[in-house]
Copies of this chain bind each other. A is one copy, B any other.
Amino acid sequence: MSETASIREKHDGELDDRGSVRLWLRLLTCTTVIEKRIKRRFADRYDITLPRFDVMAALDRHPEGMTMGQLSQALLVSNGNVTGVVQVLVRDRYVSLAPSPTDGRASVARLTQLGRECFAGLAEAHHEWIEAMLAGLDRDQRSQLHDLLGALKDSLAADDGGKE
C-alpha cells in the first residue's frame, strides 16, 4: 500500500513523435508541481504568497536595498507587478520604501527588521521542502540535471537572443 502514485503529466498520452514537445511538457509539469506545492504550503502554513516570498528573498540578499527596476529584473517579472507586490509588503511592515538619494526617479526597497526575521523562517522551510522534493535524486543526478539545464539556458539564449 506504499505505492508511490505517479504524477500525471500535462497532456499525458501524447502520441506524436515530437520528442521536443514531450521534453518541454515534462519540464513544465515538474516545475508546475513543485511551484504549486510551495505556493500551497506558504499559503497554508505562513499565510504568505510566493511572489511576496520572492521579493523578500531578493531583498534579503541585498541588504543595501534594491530599486523597483532591479527587483523586476531579478525576478523576471514586469515593473507594474513589482509595484503591487512591494506595496503590500510595505503595508505589512516587512519592507520599507525610500526615495533613492542619487536618483529622484528611483525608490529603494529594503527588508525591515521584522521582514528579515520573518524571512529567515520562511527560507528555512522553503529549503527543506525543496530538499525533500529532490530527495529521490542522488548527487550525480542533481549535478547532471543542473548541467543540462545550464545547456538549455544557453540554447534559449541562442534562440532569439534577447529581442526576438
Contact = CB atoms under 8 A, between A and B. Distances in A.
Q: What is the size category of the interface that chain A forms with chain B?
A: 35 or more
Contacts of A37: 160, 164
Nearest to A153: B7
A102 interface: no
B133 A156 contact: yes
Majority secondary structure of chain A interface residues (helix, strand, loop or mixed) = helix
Interface in A7-52: 7-15, 18-24, 26-37, 40-41
A2 B146 CA distance: 26
A157 to B, nearest CB: 5
Interface of A: 3-15, 18-24, 26-37, 40-41, 54, 57-58, 61, 73-76, 126-127, 130-137, 141-142, 144-146, 148-162, 164
